[in-house]
Each structure stands twice: as structure tokens, then as C-alpha cells.
């Protein structure tokens, strides 16, 4: 089996979980390939291990990608997986962990189950974006798993986000910005701005305004085959657009077109896991003893 491992290096971040993972993979005689920039920061003991190699790109020969970090690390890992349909699993060394569901105490048991094929996959919808005029930063990576958001730049003033759905005018949000989230992203930025939780299987997106001036501006759930067009106006000549954790600067004359991407990613789940179970645990539902 050929496994890719992705993580991000921080000097203050302990590597024990990563080292535990490498031990489990080595014990199971897996071909281990670590993302190059992270590999170069590792100690010589790991780099000189003949079973460990590094990668800069992925291809169809990989059977699995394991992310070590939080949900943000998985979002970055997906830029390597793209449309290759390589299953992805996350070891959670971050905080909340809706995507990275394997806890550090369960690494050996969980990874062994996965290597033996004892898992299921959840297919997740992504968003794609095009701009007119085009943007060089979007030519390589123009998709997002969680959300695409537009927001103000270099100003404390709100922006106006003129919004069309399938060429029909919806409204102009007067706000700090607007989030277009997938079901996967509904538990992220959108949720923190008052958006609803959407189960991964739902064929829906949600539009969630960020701190709207008009208090009657509420999140809107729409079918995921909707074409969304946005145009921003404001006191500044430019605004920001984020694709998960990646940010580009656009001029206010830019027409932004957002659609469902033409591929999905596969998230690995253990057989005894479910989104409902994860949601209940992460949201602390049931902690009130009256329930």
C-alpha cells in the first residue's frame, strides 16, 4: 500500500502524533511518502529511514492520504488530492476537528483498521470559482471544500455584495462579507456567522452574510446546482476572496461565478463513526443532563 502523509511544520508543535503514525505505517509495511516541505523539516532519523520518501505531487498510485493536524490541515491537503479520488483521513491534533476525526490516543487502532480496509468513505461536494477578468492565482487551484467567501479589505466600512442566483437577482448584502458554504463547510466559518448545520449528504449550499447591517438578512439554503454570481462594491477599490484558507485580492469590477465543482473528495470514516455522532460530540449536545 502506498500512503501519502501531509502535515505542517511549526517549531513549537510536538511531533509525537506524527511519529506514532510513522511507527504504525512502518509496522504495517506501508510505502510512506511525506509532503516535501514538511519532510525537509524533520529530524535525520526519519529522513534517513529507507521506507520513507517525499512527494511534491500526488497521482493515482496512492491508496490513501493521512493528514496530521486540524481541519485546516486537511483543507490544505485537498489541494494535493484534487480530483484523484484518493481517500483522505485526518488525525486531529487541532481543536474542534469535524474533518480530522481520529484522536491522538487512537492512532494505532484506527490506522490499523483503515489499512486493513475496515472503513467507509463519505463523498464531499466542493465549490469551484471563476472570475471575469481572470485571476492568475486561481488558474492552479480554483476550488474549495468548505467555503468561498468575499470580504472587505483595508477598511472598517462595510461592502455591498450584489448577488444573483441562476441569473436572477437575489439581493445586495450590505455586510462585512458573504460566505458560500458547502455542507462540509456548514460547520465552519458559516456556522460561526449564524449559518445552519447541513448534513454532508444534502445537495445544498448555504449563503451566509458576515455581520450584515440589515438584520433581516438571514442565511439562505439553496440547491447545489445553482450558479451563484457575486459583484462587490465599497469604499475601497479591492476586496478579498478566500477559498478555504487561501486568499486572493480582487478588484471591485470583478464578476465572481461560483458553482459546484465537477469532482468530489472522499473522506474516510471508521465503521463505528457517523456525521451525527461527530456532530453530537463536537457540539456537546447531550451535555445538559436534562437531555
Peptide bond into 14 cis (omega under 30): no
Q: What cell numbers appear for 238 in the block?
A: 479591492
The burial of 147, by beta-carbon neighbours within 10 Å (0-12 exposed, 13-18 middle, 19 or more buried), is given as buried
DSSP state of 186: G
CA distance 186 to 183: 5
Q: What cell numbers appear for 124 in the block?
A: 464531499
CB atoms within 10 A of CB 94: 16
Q: Burial letters for 48-82: b for 16+ Cβ neighbours within 10 Å, e otherwise?
A: eeeebebbeebeeebebbbbbbbbbbbbbbbbbbb
190 Cβ neighbours under 8 A, 6+ residues apart: 147, 179, 181, 206, 208, 219
Q: Which of 23, 71, 167, 224 is catalytic?
A: 71
Contact 25, 3 (CB under 8 A): yes
71 is catalytic: yes
Tabulate helix, strand, coil % of the chain (nearest 5).
20, 40, 40
Catalytic residues: 71
Amino acid at each position: 500500500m502506498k500512503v501519502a502523509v501531509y502535515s505542517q511544520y511549526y517549531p513549537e508543535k510536538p511531533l509525537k502524533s506524527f511519529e506514532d503514525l510513522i511507527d504504525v505505517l512502518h509496522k504495517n509495511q506501508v510505502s510512506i511518502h511525506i509532503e516535501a516541505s514538511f519532510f525537509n523539516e524533520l529530524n535525520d532519523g526519519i529522513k534517513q529511514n529507507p521506507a520513507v520518501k517525499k512527494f511534491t505531487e500526488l497521482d493515482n498510485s496512492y491508496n490513501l492520504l493521512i493528514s496530521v493536524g486540524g481541519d485546516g490541515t486537511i483543507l490544505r491537503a485537498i489541494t494535493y488530492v484534487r480530483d484523484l479520488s484518493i481517500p483522505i483521513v485526518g488525525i486531529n491534533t487541532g481543536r474542534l476537528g469535524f474533518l480530522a476525526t481520529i484522536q491522538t490516543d487512537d492512532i494505532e487502532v484506527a490506522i490499523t483498521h483503515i489499512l486493513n480496509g475496515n472503513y467507509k468513505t463519505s463523498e464531499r461536494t466542493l465549490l469551484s470559482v471563476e472570475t471575469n477578468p481572470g485571476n492568475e492565482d486561481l488558474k492552479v487551484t480554483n476550488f474549495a471544500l468548505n467555503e468561498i467567501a468575499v470580504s472587505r479589505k483595508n477598511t472598517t466600512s462595510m461592502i455591498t455584495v450584489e448577488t444573483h442566483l441562476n441569473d436572477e437577482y437575489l439581493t445586495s448584502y450590505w455586510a462585512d462579507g458573504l460566505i458560500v458554504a458547502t455542507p462540509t463547510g456548514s460547520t465552519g466559518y458559516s456556522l460561526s456567522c449564524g449559518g445552519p448545520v447541513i448534513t454532508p449528504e444534502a445537495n445544498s449550499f448555504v449563503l451566509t452574510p458576515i455581520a450584515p447591517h440589515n438584520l433581516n438578512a438571514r442565511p439562505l439554503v439553496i440547491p447545489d446546482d445553482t450558479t451563484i454570481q457575486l459583484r462587490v462594491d465599497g469604499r475601497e477599490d479591492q476586496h478579498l476572496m478566500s477559498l478555504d484558507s487561501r486568499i486572493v485580492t480582487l478588484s471591485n469590477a470583478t464578476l465572481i461565478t461560483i458553482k459546484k465543482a465537477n469532482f468530489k473528495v472522499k473522506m474516510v470514516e471508521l465503521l463505528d463513526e457517523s456525521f451525527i455522532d461527530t456532530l453530537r460530540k463536537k457540539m456537546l449536545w447531550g451535555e445538559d443532563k436534562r437531555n
